Amino acid sequence: MSTILNTPITCPACENVFVAPIADSVGANRAPHLLDAVLAGTFHRFSCTRCHRAVQVEKEILFTDFARGHWIGVFPPEDEPRFQECGELVTSTFHEALVEKAPAFVATWAPRFTVRVVFGVPELREKLICLHNELDDRAIEILKLDLLADRPELVERGVVALRVDGVIAEDGAIAFVSRPFPDASIAAPPVAFLVPRDVYDAVLAALPALADAHAEMFAGPYVNVLRYLPRGAVPDRGSPRASVERRIWQPSRA
């Protein structure tokens, strides 16, 4: 299901309030234009009607693509420190919908699904670029660690985190861009570069040997090296299932 509601949006730059179409969830097969918008980087991105700045709306969304087998819970970037709780919520929602309360023929689909949790629409876009190009996102995350370790010039330029931006059709090279930390405490300068496909292939081949060292990231829905950031106390934002606007996490009870 993808229900679109015209919703008041407050521009963070000028506090102008304008109305924009906001999706509560995205079903990629019934609403392929929403999938296209995510991949194009235009999903939930609007121009303020007064100051014309770009406003990226972030909210909780359940993204599903039954044809390709993708089940991705999207949370606002500020929820990233709560990745454990959010990941468990996405996983249990998936199990309720496709295993426990699903008709027998639907339950047979479950093993082929990739279940993930992401924080922010740009991270959803990155995850879909990987999935659509048959890139193993675990290998991509390990590759990010290698790139930052092997390229001191990136760290010298202030780059602290990377994001996949695309795949070159001709040779399979992977385009990376710098990205801010989830809480935007460290703003990364814009850096973009290509990584040859054989560099990724080498990481992919080495993946089995890394399974123990990265057991939680490899087994759970939050596949992102940012999970290794040092953190203070995880902010308490309440039980996600408690509020009405979060009923997307109760698909079998709706």
Residues forming contacts to Zn ion in the complex (CB under 5 A) are 11, 13-14, 16, 48, 50-51
Q: How far is the CB of 119 from Zn ion (least distance, A)?
A: 24
Tell me whether residue 11 or residue 248 sits nearer to Zn ion (CB atom). Answer: 11
The token duo for 174 is 């992977």
Q: Whose Cβ is closer to Zn ion: residue 16's or residue 56's?
A: 16
**Smallest separation (angstroms) from Zn ion to the CB of 49:** 8
Q: Give helix then strand counts, H and E, for the chain.
A: 8, 11
How many other β-carbons are positioned within 10 Å of the β-carbon of residue 253? 9
Q: Which is nearer to Zn ion, 11 or 118 (CB)?
A: 11
CB of 11 to Zn ion, least distance (A): 3
Residue closer to Zn ion by CB (options 10, 243) is 10
Rounded to 5°, angle at Cα 111 from 23 and 245:
25
CB closer to Zn ion out of 50 and 247: 50
Q: How far is the CB of 12 from Zn ion (least distance, A)?
A: 8
Roughly what angle, to the nearest 10 degrees, separates helices 197-210 and 137-150?
110
85 vs 105: CA distance, rounded Å: 29
Take residue 22 and report the two structure tokens written for it. Answer: 């906001």
- Full DSSP string of 103-145: -HHHHTTGGG-EEEEEESHHHHHHHHHHHHTT--HHHHHHHHH
Cβ 7 to Zn ion, closest distance in Å?
A: 16
